[in-house]
Amino acid sequence: MQFTTIAALLSTSLLASAAPTTSSTPLSRRACSIAYPQSIGFPINYDIHQDAGGANSVSNALTFSNVPAGSYGCQLEVNFPTGYPITSSGASAVNIYALSGETETLFGTVTLQSSPVAPTKFVINSATCSNVMTYKIEIASETEAGRVAFADTKDAGFTMTYNC
């Protein structure tokens, strides 16, 4: 009988300590930090194109050198406001390669476009943050002609989010 009484008391005290508590401080959403591509100034005019058969291919470089040391969760994104002008023709999907020394690794493929009715966001991929993160952007097709061109500004284009 004493065992049942002690077990009941312990059970009641454990349930009371596991009950949720209320806090007078409201939780706030954690904000991500944003890095913009390295440039002399904005806009950065991207023009990625090639002729049929992959001839006259022009790729563009994309570098982030402003992500602070110790950052985590780096995510390459492309954001466009509603109706943002992007010129594209032919095979307009682009491959984005992460560059590390002499090595190129396919990081993602995306067709850059904006919506006439809502902002557009593309998450390319995520990676471990480093002091310098460099990418190469080129037309994805090896044989078809294609072109993508747009102005990258603080409001539209490539960004690196981190510390989310």
Which domains can be identified in the chain, with CATH numbers? 31-162 (2.60.120)
Q: Is the pLDDT of residue 52 over 80?
A: yes
- Report pLDDT digits (tens) over 14-28: 444 444 445 455 555
Query: Pick the residue with more confidence: 70 or 4?
Result: 70
Q: What does the pLDDT average to over 73-81?
A: 97
Decide: 148 and 157 in contact? Cβ < 8 Å: no
Query: Pick the residue with more confidence: 33 or 5?
Result: 33
Compute the half-sphere exposure of residue 92: CA atoms within 13 Å on the CB side of its CA.
13
Decide: 156 and 79 in contact? Cβ < 8 Å: yes
